[in-house]
């Protein structure tokens, strides 16, 4: 539950802010709110100017300078970096106008509970649809300038990209072990140097008719770039994660194949092999492209969290309300 409270003192006056920014050596426009990145997520650093360059977001002054804490309208705090005893969180009194933003892109299954933070935050930044700042590479309505879709040349039937930072374990590993007994799966290492710039990664995905987009959790809304990559380049994702209905909250139901639609991996393999020989039916999985398009996500390691951080900047730059989040864990873990 989020309580919304509008306050007269929630914004600094232009005169006061300009004076404070000048004294701090900040040369950005004085009407931009400051968003302080308290921790660099996993120490993956990027140029703050990338928000403008990549997403045309220039509505805040992003900084990691903790000396600007007392002037920051938003303080972005990465959950994984919080010490168990909270000793690395800000200790100075929180200004009345300041909002603390809980930044977490992990699922509940993979999120450690840290006692004492439940009532510290005002805003949530997450993949969750009901987060204050919802981060997702979304389908967008097709623009007149978008190119007409042409199916890329297909050289492989079914592909899988594995990541050293997210090894195949548990249900994913068991399902894959059964699946490969009935259909060939070309497996690529997503973390290899050849894919670091993204182009080889997307070219390889586009050469596959289907791509296994297996999530490491079945938690609500936990649908990652594993889905975005195939959609962006003209490949049908075969998903394992939350239920089909949850996927359909974000993408058309005829744009993907869900493993839950089949009693076992054997039946899924039979279905994919039939589609391989039925081009007319296969092409219907791209009907959504008549009205929508998907942007390729960032693939360089340093940009893993760039999209999310830039979205926080955009939100603080336009939002006027001060919020109170009474129980963070009740919202996130349910």
* pLDDT tens-place string over residues 205-255: 999 999 999 999 999 999 999 999 999 999 999 999 999 999 999 999 999
Residues whose CB falls within 8 Å of the CB of residue 111, separated by 6 or more in sequence, listed in order: 79, 104, 332, 333
Residue 218 tokens, joined: 């079945």
The pTM is what? 0.85
**What structural domains and CATH numbers belong to the chain?**
3-137+302-333 (no CATH), 147-293 (3.40.50.11660)
What integer is the mean pLDDT of 250-262?
Answer: 96
- Of the pLDDT bands very low, low, confident and very high (cuts 50, 70, 90), residue 191 is low
pLDDT higher than threshold 60 for residue 71: yes
Other CB atoms within a 10 A radius of the CB of residue 241 amount to 25
At residue 62, φ and ψ (nearest 5 deg) are -80, 135
* pLDDT tens-place string over residues 30-62: 589 999 999 999 999 999 999 999 999 999 999
Q: For residue 311, which of 20, 81, 76 has the smallest C-alpha distance? A: 76
Q: Count CA atoms closer than 13 A to 101's CA, side-chain side.
A: 27
Helix (H) or strand (E) holding 229: helix 225-233
- Of the pLDDT bands very low, low, confident and very high (cuts 50, 70, 90), residue 21 is very low
Helix (H) or strand (E) holding 267: helix 265-276
């Amino acid at each position: 539950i989020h309580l919304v409270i509008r306050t007269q003192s929630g914004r600094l006056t232009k005169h006061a802010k300009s004076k404070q920014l000048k004294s701090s050596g900040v040369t950005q426009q004085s009407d931009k709110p400051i968003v302080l990145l308290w921790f660099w997520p996993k120490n993956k650093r990027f140029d703050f100017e990338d928000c403008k360059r990549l997403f045309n977001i220039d509505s805040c002054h992003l900084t990691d300078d903790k000396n600007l804490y007392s002037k920051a309208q938003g303080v972005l705090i990465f959950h994984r970096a919080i010490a168990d005893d909270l000793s690395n969180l800000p200790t100075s009194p929180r200004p009345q106008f300041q909002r603390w933003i809980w930044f977490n892109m992990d699922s509940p299954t993979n999120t450690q509970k840290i006692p004492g933070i439940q009532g510290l935050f005002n805003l949530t930044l997450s993949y969750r649809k009901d987060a204050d700042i919802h981060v997702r590479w979304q389908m967008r309505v097709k623009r007149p300038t978008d190119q007409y879709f042409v199916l890329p040349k297909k050289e492989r039937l079914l592909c899988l990209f594995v990541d050293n930072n997210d090894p195949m374990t548990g249900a994913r590993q068991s399902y894959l072990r059964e699946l490969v007994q009935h259909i060939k799966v070309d497996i690529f290492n997503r973390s290899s140097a050849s894919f670091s710039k993204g182009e080889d990664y997307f070219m390889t995905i586009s050469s596959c008719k289907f791509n296994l987009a297996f999530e490491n959790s079945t938690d609500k809304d936990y649908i990652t770039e594993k889905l975005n990559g195939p959609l962006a380049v003209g490949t049908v994702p075969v998903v394992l994660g939350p239920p089909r209905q949850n996927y359909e909250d974000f993408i058309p139901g005829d744009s993907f194949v869900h493993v839950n639609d089949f009693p076992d991996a054997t039946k899924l393999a039979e279905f994919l092999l039939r589609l391989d020989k039925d081009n007319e039916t296969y092409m219907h999985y791209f009907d959504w492209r008549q009205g929508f398009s998907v942007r390729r996500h960032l693939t360089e390691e340093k940009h893993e969290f760039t999209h999310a951080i830039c979205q926080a900047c955009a939100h603080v730059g336009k939002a006027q309300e001060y919020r109170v989040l009474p129980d963070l864990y009740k919202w996130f873990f349910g």
